[in-house]
């Protein structure tokens, strides 16, 4: 009997598999024979060995993005890093003003923090993007005021892959003395980042988008005596008193190995993934009433956000069977709302709902891309026959 084809995973922007080389290294830091000691227990050799491993990982994370080791603080992931960047800075600077600047296409961990601060009496300017998903640096210039405490704009959007001009935005912030935070979760390891030259003060990272484990991330805080951040989590003195909690040695080690591999192989990986992504789009673009969101803007290698005119994305996903794709981001689909990113780009809620996000990664194969293209074309054709009225309504 022929075995069922295995699922095709095209949801790398939600999370990646952990690279086997990472798993192997992490395993050394868990069991009774391993380096499981608390890295803060430096009174004994096992603790000091764990500490050394944590510091080695910190150096690897820093090396990928051109940062110094002391500028990297481990967190539980980028959600915490984003919350901390905003709340930590606001707490340290609240006597200077009550205004914040961000964009309408940020991740929920930024937008929800912004909304929570609004409820506490802060004013937030939400910058628009154009039809291709780009935030115009000129809009940033217009939004900054002497009262602005922070500007926060993501590097690569998690739904469309569109790259923002963080160099230009950061330069404007620098000129006005406003700290600049960048969510680099989707760009680290995929695009070159050099914090030794970029005008960025705070940057968020997550290991599980770069073939590392979930539940570990970092916040880069530029070493600058004028850039003070209050802690978000209080407790022990870990991370130089700024982020309390027992360091998750095995997670941190996995993060370090994942970022080392990204430094050594990331750009070659990105080129290969970009070719596969383009091959998938070349197949899909032959279908009718189809639109590539952000197709006119520079994009990171793995993303394809495609609107299928006239069909509902949820129904399309149903017909896709074993194809693992997303409708929006994992976080916004948990809420069941049409994508705020696509709507900010001018799509109607209906068009946003008829969109699939396909994201490719290190383990995607040519054969998977071919099967995925076929599977999508078939499902789309079936749905277009089943719901021709809806197709006409949306096409018109
Ligand atoms: N920012 C972006 C752009 C993301 O894609 C994600 C993950 N979906 C996060 C932040 C949150 O990261 P984490 O899962 O590490 O909390």
Q: Are residues 226 and 338 in the same domain?
A: no
Last residue of a domain, one of 229, 261, 293: 261
Last residue of a domain, one of 205, 237, 261: 261
Least confident of 29-43, 151-165, 279-293, 376-390: 376-390
From the number of C-beta atoms within 10 Å of its C-beta (0-12, 13-18, 19+), residue 87 rates as middle
- Edge to edge, the sheet with strand 355-359 lists 290-292, 303-308, 355-359
CA separation for the pair 287, 217 (Å, rounded): 39
Q: Is the CB of 186 under 6 A from ligand 1?
A: yes
Percent of the chain with pLDDT strictly greater than 90? 88
Q: Does residue 382 lie in a domain region?
A: yes
Question: What pTM does this model have?
Answer: 0.95
Going by C-alpha positions, the residue among 112, 117, 111, 113 that lies closest to residue 94 is: 117
Kindly give, in sequence order, each residue whose CB lies less than 8 Å from that of residue 190, ignoring residues fewer than 6 positions away.
Answer: 156, 266, 270, 300, 301, 302
- Which residue has the CA at smallest separation from atom 12 of ligand 1? 78
Average pLDDT rounded to a whole number, residues 378-383: 92
Last residue of a domain, one of 199, 230, 261: 261
Q: Are residues 244 and 282 in the same domain?
A: no
**Which residue among 151, 173, 301, 331 is the active-site one?**
331
Which residues constitute the domain of residue 317?
A: 8-16+266-387
Q: Is the CB of 161 under 6 A from ligand 1?
A: no
Do 96 and 126 contact (CB within 8 A), yes or no?
A: no
Q: Are residues 306 and 382 in the same domain?
A: yes
From the number of C-beta atoms within 10 Å of its C-beta (0-12, 13-18, 19+), residue 82 rates as buried
The 10s digit of each residue's pLDDT in 73-83 is 999 999 999 99
The 10s digit of each residue's pLDDT in 320-370 is 988 999 986 555 555 678 999 999 999 999 999 999 999 999 999 999 999
Q: Does residue 70 lie in a domain region?
A: yes
Q: Is the CB of 217 under 6 A from ligand 1?
A: yes
Q: Are residues 217 and 354 in the same domain?
A: no
- Which residue has the CA at smallest separation from atom 7 of ligand 1? 14
Q: Is the CB of 111 under 6 A from ligand 1?
A: no
Q: Does residue 1 lie in a domain region?
A: no
Indicate whether 269 pLDDT > 90. Answer: yes
Q: Does residue 232 lie in a domain region?
A: yes
| C-alpha gyration radius of the chain | 22
CA of 203 to the centre of ligand 1 (A): 12
Do 44 and 37 contact (CB within 8 A), yes or no?
A: yes
Q: Are residues 324 and 230 in the same domain?
A: no
CA separation for the pair 275, 134 (Å, rounded): 23
Structure tokens at 309: 């005119």
Average pLDDT rounded to a whole number, residues 244-248: 97
Least confident of 1-15, 248-262, 281-295, 361-375: 1-15
Average pLDDT rounded to a whole number, residues 173-192: 98
Q: Are residues 295 and 239 in the same domain?
A: no
CATH number at residue 202: 3.40.640.10
Handedness of CA 168, 169, 173, 179 (dihedral sign): negative
Q: Does residue 392 lie in a domain region?
A: no
Give the model's pLDDT for residue 331: 52
- Which residue has the CA at smallest separation from atom 16 of ligand 1? 79
CATH number at residue 290: 3.90.1150.10
CA separation for the pair 98, 85 (Å, rounded): 15
Do 348 and 334 contact (CB within 8 A), yes or no?
A: no
Average pLDDT rounded to a whole number, residues 373-396: 72
Average pLDDT rounded to a whole number, residues 223-229: 95
Indicate whether 215 pLDDT > 60. Answer: yes
173 carries an active-site annotation: no
Report how many domains make up the chain: 2
Indicate whether 390 pLDDT > 70. Answer: no
Average pLDDT rounded to a whole number, residues 105-115: 98
């Amino acid at each position: 009997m022929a075995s069922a084809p295995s699922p095709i995973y095209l949801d790398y922007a939600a999370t990646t598999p952990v690279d086997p080389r990472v798993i192997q290294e992490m395993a050394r830091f868990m069991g009774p024979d391993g380096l499981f000691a608390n890295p803060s227990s430096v009174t004994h050799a096992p603790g000091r060995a764990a500490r050394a491993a944590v510091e080695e990982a910190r150096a690897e994370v820093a090396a990928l993005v051109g940062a110094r080791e002391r500028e990297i603080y481990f967190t539980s992931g980028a959600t915490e890093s984003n919350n901390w960047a905003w709340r930590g800075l606001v707490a340290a600077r609240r006597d200077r003003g009550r205004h914040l600047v961000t964009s309408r296409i940020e991740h929920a961990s930024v937008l929800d923090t912004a909304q929570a601060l609004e409820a506490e009496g802060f004013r937030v300017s939400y910058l628009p993007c154009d039809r291709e998903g780009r935030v115009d640096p000129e809009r940033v210039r217009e939004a900054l005021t002497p009262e602005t405490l922070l500007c926060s704009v993501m590097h690569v959007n998690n739904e469309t892959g569109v790259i923002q001009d963080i160099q230009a935005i950061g330069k404007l912030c620098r000129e006005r003395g406003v700290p600049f935070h960048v969510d680099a979760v989707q760009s680290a390891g995929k695009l070159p980042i050099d914090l030794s030259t970029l005008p960025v003060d705070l940057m968020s990272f997550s290991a599980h988008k770069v073939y590392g484990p979930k539940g570990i991330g970092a916040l880069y805080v530029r070493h600058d005596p004028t850039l003070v951040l209050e802690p978000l989590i209080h407790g022990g003195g870990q991370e130089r008193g700024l982020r309390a909690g027992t360091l998750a040695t095995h997670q941190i080690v996995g993060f370090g190995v994942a970022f080392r591999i990204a430094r050594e192989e990331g750009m070659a990986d990105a080129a290969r993934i970009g070719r596969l992504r383009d091959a998938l789009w070349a197949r899909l673009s032959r279908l009718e009433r189809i639109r590539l969101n952000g197709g006119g803007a520079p994009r990171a290698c793995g993303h394809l956000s495609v609107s299928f005119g006239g069909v509902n994305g949820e129904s399309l996903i149903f017909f896709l069977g074993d194809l693992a794709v997303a409708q929006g981001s994992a976080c916004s689909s948990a809420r069941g709302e049409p994508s705020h990113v696509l709507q900010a780009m001018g799509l109607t809620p209906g068009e946003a709902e008829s969109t699939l996000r396909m994201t490719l990664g290190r383990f995607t194969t040519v054969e998977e891309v071919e099967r995925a293209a076929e599977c999508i074309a078939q499902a789309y054709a079936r749905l277009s026959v089943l719901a021709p009225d809806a197709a006409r309504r949306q096409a018109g």
